[in-house]
C-alpha cells in the first residue's frame, strides 16, 4: 500500500463537469459497484500449462468477438486485412456492396494460405500452389481440371464465412458461427467509446512485437496502475496513480486515471514537470504565460481545451471535462486494451502464440486526432520485431522489461499463484470472466 500519511494530505483538484445532456451520447462517468470477487490466488499454471492453453482456444478464442483491424484500411472493394489469432489466419474483405466479410485464410484444396499477414487489394484470391481461385465473397470460381475430382468440389463451393462487423472505426470478427450479436457482446462500451470518434483519428503507429510471455501476463500488466510507482517513477510527476476509479462490467472493465496531476506519493514540485508541460503545449497553452498553481493545471487545461478546441478544429462536444485531460483506460475482453484520450488513442492487442503458452504477439496501434480541415496523413508502415531489437518508447519498454522474468517466475514451485490487491481489481475481474468461459457448462457463452 502507499504511504497513508501522505494520503491524508493528498491534494484535491476541482473538476468542471459538463452536463451529459449537452454532450451527445456521453461517456458514463459514474462509478460502478465493486464486484465481490474474493481474495483467492489466481493459479500460476494457467500462464504456462499447455492444457490450459488448449482450453482457452476451445472455449474463449473460438467463441468471442475479436478485433480484426481498422476500417479505413479497407475502403475500396477488394481491400483486405489478413490477420492471425493463434493457429488461425483470416481474411477480412471489403465487398462490392460496401459490406465486409470474413473467411479463413486457407485454400480448401491442400491447405495453402492464400495471403500473408498484412494489408492488400485483390480482384480475386488465387492459391499460388494449384491456382484454385476464390471470389471476394469466398466462392470458388475456378478449380483447374475439376473433372478429375470424382468427388466434385468442396461443400457449397465456397470458403466458410465467419461473423464480421464494423464498429467505431474498427472491424471485428469471430471464429464462432453462432456468436452472440456484437452489440450484446460489447455492451455497455458502445456508449462509453463512441464519443471519442476514433474515425476522426489517423494511424500514428503500427507495431507488432514478439514477447516471451503468456498473453495474459501482458493483459495483467496493462490492467492496473499499482506498478507505476515501481517501474514508471517518472510518471509520478505526470499522473495521479492513487485516486483512480475502477469499474467492472459484465465482461469488460476500465479505470479512470487523472493526468496533468502529481501523484500523492511524491512532493509537489516547484516547477512544472516536463510531462505536464507537454500536455499544456499540446493543448496550445503558452507555458511561459501560465501563472497558476501546479495543482490547478489539470483543471486549467480542461478549461482551455473547452474554450479553444473548436478554433483548433477539434470537436470535444461529446466529452466531459475530465476526458479532456485524463486517461479513460478500457479493457475489452479478452485481449484489447485502450488508453482513450481526447486527442489520441493508444490501443494494444494481445494475441496468443499458435503453439507456445510462453510466447505472444503484442500489437501497438496509436491513432491521433486530425483537426477538421487538416490534410489526412499517410498511413504509417507496419513494423514487426522481437522484444529488445528496437525500442517501443520508454514507458512501454519499462512494461516489457519485466514480462519475460514474470513468465519464468510463474513456473517456480514456490509460486502457486498471483496475490492480488484492491488496486488490481481489474486483473481479478479479467480472470473471473476468463474462468466463466472456461467453466461454462456448454463451453460456449
Domain of 141 in residue numbering reads as: 66-170+172-178
Give the CATH number for residue 255.
3.90.380.10
**pLDDT value, residue 24:** 42
Q: Does 151 reside within a domain?
A: yes
Gap between the Cα atoms of 138 and 21, Å rounded: 45
Q: Are both 14 and 82 inside the same structural domain?
A: no
**Residue 338 is assigned to a structural domain of this protein:** yes
- Do 283 and 347 reside in the same domain of the chain? yes
- Choosing from 178, 212, 244, the residue where a domain stops is 178
Separation CA 65–CA 177 (nearest Å): 11
pLDDT of residue 327: 97
Task: Pick the last residue of a domain from 178, 210, 238.
Answer: 178
Nearest to 328 by CA among 347, 303, 315, 310: 347
For residue 195, give the C-alpha cell: 464519443
The full 3-state SS of the chain, as one line of letters, equals CCCHHHHHCCCCCCCCCCCHHHCCCCCCCCCCCCCCCCCCCEEHHHHCCHHHHHHHHHHHHCCCEEEEEEHHHCCCCCEEEEEEECCEEEEEEECCCCCEEEEECCCCCCCCCCCCCEEEECCCEECCCCCCEECCCCEEEECCCHHHCCCCCCHHHECCCECEEEECCEEEEECCCCCCCHHHHHCCHHHHHHHHCHHHEEEEEEEEEEECCCHHHHHHHCCCCCCHHHHCHHHHHCECCCCCEEEECCCCEEEEECECCCCCCCCCCCCCCHHHHHHHHHHCCCHHHCCCCHHHHHHHHHHHHHHHCHHHCCCCCCCCHHHHCCEEEEEECCCEEEEECCCEEEEEEEEECCCCCCCEEEEEEEEEECCCCCCCCCCCCCEEEEECCECCCHHHHHHHHHHHHHHHHHCCCCCCEECCCHHHHHHHHHHHHHHHHHCCCCCCC
Give the Cβ contact number of residue 139 at 10 Å.
Answer: 13
Write the CB contacts of 413 (distance below 8 Å, at least 6 apart in sequence).
none
In a domain, 9, yes or no: yes
Parallel, antiparallel, or unpaired for β 383-386 and 201-211? Answer: parallel
| Positions in the chain whose pLDDT score sits under 70 | 1-25, 442-445
How crowded is the C-beta side of 316, counted as CA atoms within 13 Å?
24
In this structure, is residue 183 part of a structural domain? no
Considering the domain architecture, whether residues 25 and 87 belong to the same structural domain is answered as no
Q: Is residue 184 part of a domain?
A: no
Q: 215 and 308: one domain?
A: yes
What confidence score (pLDDT) does residue 83 get?
Answer: 98
pLDDT in tens, 6-62: 233 222 233 334 444 334 469 999 999 999 999 999 999 999 999 999 999 999 999
**Which pLDDT value is given to residue 125?**
98
- Residue where a domain terminates, one of 153, 178, 203: 178
Q: Of 235, 120, 102, give the one whose Cα is nearest residue 176.
A: 102
Are residues 326 and 291 part of one domain?
A: yes
Q: 21 and 149 share a domain?
A: no
Domain shared by 261 and 406, yes or no: yes
Query: What pLDDT, on a 0 to 100 scale, did the predictor assign at position 307?
Result: 97
Residues 230 and 354 both lie in one domain: yes
Same domain, 59 and 154: no
Is 236 within a domain?
A: yes
108: domain CATH number? 2.102.10.10
Query: pLDDT (tens digit, 9 = 90+) per residue, 332-372?
Result: 999 999 999 999 999 999 999 999 999 999 999 999 999 99
Domain identity same for 97 and 209? no
Beta carbons within 10 angstroms of residue 294's beta carbon: 19
Domain assignment present for residue 443? The answer is no
113 lies in the same domain as 149: yes
Residue 190 lies in a domain: no
How far is Cα 49 from Cα 2, in angstroms, rounded to an integer? 34
Cα 213 to Cα 237: distance, rounded to the nearest angstrom = 30
Report pLDDT for 5: 29
Q: How many structural domains are present in the chain?
A: 2
Residues 346 and 283 in one domain: yes
Amino acid at each position: 500500500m502507499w504511504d497513508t500519511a501522505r494520503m491524508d494530505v493528498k491534494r484535491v483538484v476541482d473538476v468542471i463537469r459538463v452536463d451529459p445532456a449537452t454532450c451527445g451520447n456521453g461517456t458514463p462517468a459514474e462509478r460502478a459497484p465493486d464486484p465481490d470477487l474474493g481474495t483467492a490466488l489466481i493459479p500460476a499454471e494457467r500462464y504456462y500449462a499447455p492444457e490450459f492453453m488448449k482450453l482457452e482456444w476451445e472455449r474463449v478464442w473460438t467463441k468471442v468477438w475479436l478485433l480484426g483491424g481498422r476500417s479505413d484500411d479497407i475502403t475500396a472493394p477488394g481491400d483486405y486485412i489478413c490477420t492471425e489469432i493463434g493457429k488461425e489466419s483470416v481474411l477480412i474483405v471489403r465487398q462490392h456492396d460496401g459490406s465486409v466479410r470474413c473467411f479463413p485464410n486457407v485454400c480448401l484444396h491442400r491447405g495453402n494460405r492464400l495471403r500473408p499477414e498484412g494489408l492488400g487489394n485483390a480482384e480475386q484470391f488465387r492459391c499460388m500452389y494449384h491456382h484454385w481461385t476464390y471470389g471476394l465473397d469466398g466462392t470458388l470460381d475456378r478449380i483447374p481440371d475439376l473433372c478429375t475430382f470424382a468427388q466434385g468440389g468442396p461443400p457449397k463451393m465456397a470458403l466458410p464465412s465467419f461473423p464480421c462487423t464494423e464498429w467505431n472505426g474498427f472491424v471485428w470478427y469471430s471464429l464462432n458461427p453462432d456468436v452472440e450479436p456484437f452489440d450484446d457482446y460489447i455492451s455497455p462500451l458502445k456508449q462509453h467509446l463512441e464519443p471519442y470518434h476514433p474515425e476522426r483519428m489517423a494511424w500514428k503507429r503500427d507495431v507488432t512485437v514478439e514477447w516471451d510471455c503468456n498473453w495474459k501476463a501482458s493483459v495483467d500488466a496493462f490492467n492496473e496502475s499499482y506498478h507505476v510507482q515501481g517501474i514508471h517513477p517518472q510518471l509520478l510527476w505526470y499522473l495521479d496513480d492513487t485516486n483512480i476509479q475502477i469499474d467492472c462490467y459484465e465482461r469488460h472493465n476500465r479505470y479512470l486515471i487523472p493526468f496533468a496531476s502529481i501523484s500523492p506519493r511524491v512532493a509537489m514540485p516547484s516547477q512544472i514537470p516536463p510531462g505536464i508541460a507537454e500536455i499544456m503545449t499540446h493543448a496550445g497553452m503558452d507555458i511561459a504565460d501560465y501563472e497558476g498553481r501546479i495543482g490547478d493545471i489539470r483543471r486549467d487545461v480542461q478549461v482551455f481545451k473547452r474554450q479553444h478546441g473548436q478554433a483548433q478544429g477539434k470537436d470535444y462536444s461529446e466529452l466531459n471535462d475530465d476526458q479532456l485531460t485524463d486517461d479513460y483506460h478500457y479493457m475489452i475482453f479478452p485481449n484489447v486494451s485502450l488508453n482513450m484520450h481526447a486527442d489520441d488513442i493508444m490501443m494494444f492487442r494481445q494475441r496468443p502464440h499458435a503453439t507456445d503458452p510462453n510466447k505472444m504477439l503484442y500489437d501497438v496501434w496509436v491513432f491521433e486526432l486530425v483537426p477538421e480541415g487538416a490534410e489526412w496523413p499517410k498511413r504509417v508502415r507496419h513494423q514487426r520485431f522481437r522484444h529488445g531489437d528496437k525500442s517501443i518508447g520508454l514507458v512501454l519498454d519499462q512494461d516489457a522489461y519485466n514480462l519475460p522474468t514474470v513468465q519464468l517466475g510463474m513456473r517456480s514451485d514456490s509460486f502457486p499463484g498471483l496475490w492480488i490487491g484492491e488496486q488490481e481489481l481489474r486483473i481479478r475481474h479479467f480472470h473471473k470472466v476468463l474462468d466463466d468461459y472456461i467453466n461454462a457448462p456448454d463451453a460456449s457463452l
